Amino acid sequence: MEITEVKVFPVNEDRLKAYVSITIDNCFVVRDLKIIEGTSGLFVAMPSKKRKDGQFKDIAHPLNQETRDLIERKVFEAYEAEVRSMGASLGSLRRAPSGGSTSDD
C-alpha cells in the first residue's frame, strides 16, 4: 500500500488543527481524518460518525500498527510542510506517542 497524495486543510479551532484527505494507490480516497492537539501532543484521528448513543465510532481505520504508523508519518509530514508554507512556527507542535488512540487524551 502506498499513500500517493495527502491534502491538508488547516483550521485553528481549539484542539482541531487540520482536516486531512489521503489517497491510497491513486485509486482510493479517505476524507475527514483530523489532526488534533491532545494533552500529550498532536495525533491523527480517523474519520468517525456519532452514533445515536452519543459515542463516536471510526468509519475507516487501519487494522494494524504498521499501517497506522505509515498514515501518521505521511499526514504529519504534509501537515508540517503546510504549516511551514504558511510561515508558522512548528516550535510548539509535538506529536503524541504513537499508539492509535483517538480518545480525548
Report the C-alpha gap between 73 and 70 in whole angstroms: 5
- Cell numbers placing 98: 504513537
* Neighbouring residues of 80: CB distance < 8 A, sequence distance ≥ 6: 90, 93
Which pLDDT score is estimated for 98? Answer: 65
Domain boundaries, the chain: 3-85
Model pLDDT for residues 58-86, shown as the tens digit of each residue? 999 999 999 999 999 999 999 999 988 88
**CATH 3.30.1120.40 is the classification of domain 3-85:** yes
